[in-house]
Amino acid sequence: MLASVGAALAISLAMGAVANASSGLVGRLAQVPAAAPLARALGVAQPTITPAVVTRELRWVGRDIDGDGAADFANPTGKAPRTFDAYGSGAFGASRDGGVRHHEGVDYAAEAGQPVTAPMSGYVTKIGYAYAGDPDLQFVEITNPALGYEARVFYIDASVEVGDAVALGAPIGKAHTLQHKYPGGMTDHVHLEVAETGKRLDATELIVARLVEVPETTAD
């Protein structure tokens, strides 16, 4: 009799242990999110996945005026417009001469000697001087009859001649320093004026800054 009771008790305890073990495993599995792989549920170490590096660069994108899918304008220096310095702001419409007049173009920062490119395609219709008596600071005028736009690029050493056909982004000269003309803190720049049928326009509405994703390159 006692032997039978002992055997029954042993069986009962064994079944309880199995039930507890099963309950513990179920509990541990229940704590793992449904989407987690089985390896994580079983405590197996997983490799670390490094996310891909996305590089973004600031690019200057010109507007497509004629609707052919290609840009019609480009940044002549590839740099941002001149901000405030000792001589004021380089933005379109900025105050000049104490408010007597307003800035009729946009100043794009430049390094003296750097290439300056055509802000639009067309024909070179004029080469002149930004200031009378200062032959060092030239301007180049480009006219595009098909678009009805005219652009003038100031403070350069021109490398083109009147009558030349120039493509968008083609070299037209080199930037000239302004330090002898505006000593004491003016940022070297190229002054760009754009006009449509004689009306001055804000170039920053035609040449827009955008962050563009650039594929990461690896060395061979």
Q: Could you state, in order of their start, the residue ranges of all structural domains in the chain?
A: 2-41, 58-214
pLDDT at 162: 99
Average pLDDT (89-104) is 87
Any idea what DSSP says for residue 83? -
Enter the DSSP assignment of 97.
G
* Cα end-to-end distance, the chain, whole Å: 84
pLDDT reading at 212 higher than 90: no
- Rounded-to-integer distance, Cα 194 and Cα 163, Å: 19
CB of 74 within 8 A of CB of 167?
no
Q: How far is CA 23 from the centre of its chain?
A: 58
CATH fold, domain 58-214, is Glucose Permease (Domain IIA) (2.70.70)
Number of C-beta neighbours around residue 120 at 10 A: 25
- Alpha helix (H) ranges present in 1-112? 2-30, 38-41
Task: Please tell me whether the overall predicted TM-score, pTM, comes out greater than 0.95 for this model.
Answer: no
pLDDT: which is higher, 136 or 147: 147
- Asked whether the predicted pLDDT for residue 36 surpasses 70, the reply is no
**pLDDT band at residue 93 under the 50/70/90 scheme:** confident
Surface-to-core class of residue 135, CB atoms within 10 Å of its CB (0-12 exposed, 13-18 middle, 19+ buried): exposed
* Average pLDDT taken over every residue of the chain: 84
State yes or no: pLDDT of 110 exceeds 80.
Answer: yes
- Provide mean pLDDT across the span 76-97: 91
pLDDT in tens, 148-206: 999 999 999 999 999 999 999 999 999 999 999 999 889 999 999 999 999 999 999 99
